[in-house]
Structure formats: structure tokens, C-alpha cells
């Protein structure tokens, strides 16, 4: 028995477009892992970043999943409906002094980094220099734009991935104090995902390897909020013809689900699973891969 309780997994797509071959790999892997553990699998629509969301993409994704035989065991949650929960988490963090308001624009951050001799090349994923930290004087009369999590001096954070093995990141030096509520008032992915994984009792997170880099930040947030840390498994990425990761951003084709089995076969192959038997139905293929899944 898992010490975290009965297995609960999720697939959490952002509705920025239809599913593509890459996202189907994560969807299939999370579904198979849940089934192989005789667990529950839920779909959560991560529509917090409203400017990037495409109207109707959530419905389309759910239809595409259903065509592939992947149907949420419970009602589908939309993050756009959960602002009050994210606010409550931010309030709790504020009460413990784990967050602070920040007045910096991107330009301010670049200027502050430049003043320290950190040039663009070296800070391509700009580590926030901590200008608005309370210990540095806070907002100093400037209007608050965003809320940041104060990483503090955690040093290296170690975590384990079921596929990638031992992982580590120094969040303070590699990421810095990260944003939980954006200057445009939108909730950041890091906070929403941590709050919802806990609210939904998720014990196992299975998602694409491109998200692995967020895990240390999410574990820090879980600890600060007194929430459990799920087990993590990051799935291999599907590469496009140019060798780059396939994503909605670089124009990955929406899945043609006239032939769901062919799409599932490709996803299964990416996961190192054996081919389905000839003439199998979608349900038979899924059962075959569940049996082959090494949970």
C-alpha cells in the first residue's frame, strides 16, 4: 500500500490548442500508470493563463482523449474556477512571511542584473535579484505588481524521478524567488498546480520531461504550505523532424483522431511499450499496454 494513500493520478493539459503527439504520450502514460496501480485518473484543465488559452480547446482535448479511450474518472476540474483557493494559499504563505509583493518590471530586473555585471547571456533565464525582498527594503513606495515566493537559503533540493532517477536543483541560485501571482493578476502555474495536486489528493504525477525543471519549485511550495509531495515520473519527449521537442508552440500538428489506434501506437512506442496485436480495438490495446506497464 502506498503511504500516500490510494493511487490518484492526473493529466493536466493547458488548453492552448488541441492535443498533439507529444501531449498524448503524457496523457497515455499517466492513464496507464493509474490503471496499472488500480488507481483513479482525473483530467484537470489548466486554464489559468487565459491569454494563452484557445476558446473551445478544452472541449476538443476532452473529445480527443475520449476517442483514445482516456476518460476522466471524476468531474473535470478547470483551474479558471479556482481563484479563491489560490488566493487562500497565497494568504497562508503571506502569513508565514514566505511571499512578498514585487514592483519590478522586466526592465527593472534586467537593469538590476546588469548593475551587478550579469549580462544577458549569463542570465537568459533571469534569476530575480531580490530587489523587493523585505530585507532589501521592500516596495519602497512603488506599487506592487506581482507576488514572489521567497526561496531563502534552501541550498540544493534533491528529489527522485521514477524514470530519470536522482535529481537536484539549487532553486535559490538557478531560479531565484519565483512569481506566484503575476503582474497582470493571473495566477502562476507553480502555485495553481501545487494547490490543485493537493486538493485532488494526487499521489503520482506523470507528465512530460519538459516540466521536470519545475519540480523542485513545486516541492518547495508544498513544504511551505504543509502539503504532501507526490511521486514524480517525467515521460520522454517526442521530437519533431528538426530534432526539437514537439510542442504546440513550434507548430506540432493536432492529432488526427480518425485513426486513434495509430496515434496511440506512436505514443506507446515513445514509452517503450510493445505494439498492440493486429486488429486490436482501442480498449484491447490499452489493456495490453496496462499489463506491459512497469509500475
153 Cα distance to chain centroid: 24
Q: Which three cell numbers stand for residue 81?
A: 474556477
Q: Which of 61, 62, 146, 193 binds ligand GLU (CB under 6 A)?
A: 193
Minimum CB distance to ligand GLU, residue 29 (Å): 11
Stretch that binds ligand GLU, among 6-14, 31-39, 60-68, 80-88 (CB under 6 A): 6-14
Judged by beta carbon, residue 174 or residue 213, the one nearer ligand GLU is 213
From candidates 7, 12, 42, 224, binder to ligand GLU by CB under 6 A: 12
CB closer to ligand GLU, 188 vs 193: 193
Is beta strand 8-11 parallel, antiparallel or unpaired with respect to 40-45? parallel
Q: At closest approach, how far in Å is the CB of 195 from ligand GLU?
A: 12
**Of 14 and 290, which CB lies nearer to ligand GLU in the complex structure?**
14
Binding positions for ligand GLU, 203-242, rule CB under 6 A: 207, 211
Of the two residues 204 and 207, which places its CB atom closer to ligand GLU in the complex?
A: 207
* Other beta carbons within 10 Å of 64: 23
Nearer to ligand GLU, 14 or 169 (CB): 14
Q: Residue 78 or 142: which CB sits closer to ligand GLU? A: 78
Distances (CA, A) of 141 to 97, 99, 115: 19, 18, 21
* Residue 169 touching ligand GLU (CB under 6 A): no
List the x/- string, 41-60, binding to ligand GLU by CB under 6 A: -----x--------------
State the minimum distance, in angstroms, from the CB of residue 65 to ligand GLU.
Answer: 13
Enumerate residues 6+ apart whose C-beta is below 8 A from 5: 201, 203
9-17, 120-128, 178-186, 258-266 -> range binding ligand GLU (CB under 6 A): 9-17
CB of 7 to ligand GLU, least distance (A): 16
Q: What are φ and ψ of residue 242, in 5° steps?
A: -80, 5
Minimum CB distance to ligand GLU smaller for 85 or for 288: 85
Print the SS3 string covering the chain: CCCCCCCEEEECCCCCCCCEHHHHHHHHHHHHHHHHCCCEEEEEECCCCHHHCCCCHHHHHHHHHHHCCCCCCCCCEEHHHCHHHHHHHHHHHHHCCCEEEECCCHHHHHHHHHHCCCCCCCCCCCCCCCCCCHHHCCCCCCCCCEEEECCCCCCEEEEEECCCEEEEEEHHHHCCCEEEECCCCCECHHHHHHHHHHHCCCCEEEEEHHHHHHHHHHHHHHHHHCCCCCEEEEECCCECCCCCECCCCCCCCECCCCCHHHHHHHHHHHCCCCCCCCCCCHHHHHHHHHHHCCC
Q: Segment contacting ligand GLU (CB under 6 A): 11-19, 122-130, 147-155, 269-277?
A: 11-19
Residue from the set 14, 40, 203, 229 that interacts with ligand GLU by CB under 6 A: 14
Closest Cα to residue 196, out of 96, 116, 93, 80? 80
Out of 7, 8, 9, 13, point to the residue binding ligand GLU (CB under 6 A). Answer: 13
Nearer to ligand GLU, 86 or 100 (CB): 86
Interface with ligand GLU (CB under 6 A), residue total: 7
Residues contributing to the site for ligand GLU (CB under 6 A)? 12-14, 46, 193, 207, 211
Amino acid at each position: 500500500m502506498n503511504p500516500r494513500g490510494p493511487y490518484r493520478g492526473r493529466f493536466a493539459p493547458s488548453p492552448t490548442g488541441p492535443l498533439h503527439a507529444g501531449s498524448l504520450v503524457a496523457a497515455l502514460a499517466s492513464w496507464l500508470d493509474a490503471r496499472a496501480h488500480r488507481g483513479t485518473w482525473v483530467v484537470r484543465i489548466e486554464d489559468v493563463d487565459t491569454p494563452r488559452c484557445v476558446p473551445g480547446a478544452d472541449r476538443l482535448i476532452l473529445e480527443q482523449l475520449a476517442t483514445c479511450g482516456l476518460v476522466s474518472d471524476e468531474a473535470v476540474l478547470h483551474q479558471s474556477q479556482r481563484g479563491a483557493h489560490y488566493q487562500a494559499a497565497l494568504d497562508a504563505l503571506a502569513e508565514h512571511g514566505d511571499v512578498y509583493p514585487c514592483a519590478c518590471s522586466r526592465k527593472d530586473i534586467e537593469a538590476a542584473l546588469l548593475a551587478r555585471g550579469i549580462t544577458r547571456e549569463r542570465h537568459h533565464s533571469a534569476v530575480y535579484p531580490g530587489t523587493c525582498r523585505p530585507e532589501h527594503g521592500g516596495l519602497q513606495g512603488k506599487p506592487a505588481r506581482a507576488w514572489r515566493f521567497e526561496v531563502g537559503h534552501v541550498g540544493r533540493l534533491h528529489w527522485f524521478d521514477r524514470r530519470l532517477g536522482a535529481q537536484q536543483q539549487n532553486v535559490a541560485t538557478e531560479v531565484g524567488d519565483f512569481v506566484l501571482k503575476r503582474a497582470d493578476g493571473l495566477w502562476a502555474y507553480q502555485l495553481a498546480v501545487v494547490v490543485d495536486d493537493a486538493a485532488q489528493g494526487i499521489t503520482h504525477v506523470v507528465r512530460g520531461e519538459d516540466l521536470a525543471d519545475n519540480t523542485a519549485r513545486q516541492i518547495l511550495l508544498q513544504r511551505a504550505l504543509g502539503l504532501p509531495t507526490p511521486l514524480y515520473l517525467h515521460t520522454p519527449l517526442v521530437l519533431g523532424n528538426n530534432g526539437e521537442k514537439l510542442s504546440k508552440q513550434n507548430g506540432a500538428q493536432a492529432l488526427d483522431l480518425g485513426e486513434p489506434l495509430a496515434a496511440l501506437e506512436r505514443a506507446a512506442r515513445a514509452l517503450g511499450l510493445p505494439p498492440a496485436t493486429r486488429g486490436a480495438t482501442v480498449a484491447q490495446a490499452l489493456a495490453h499496454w496496462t499489463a506491459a506497464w512497469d509500475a
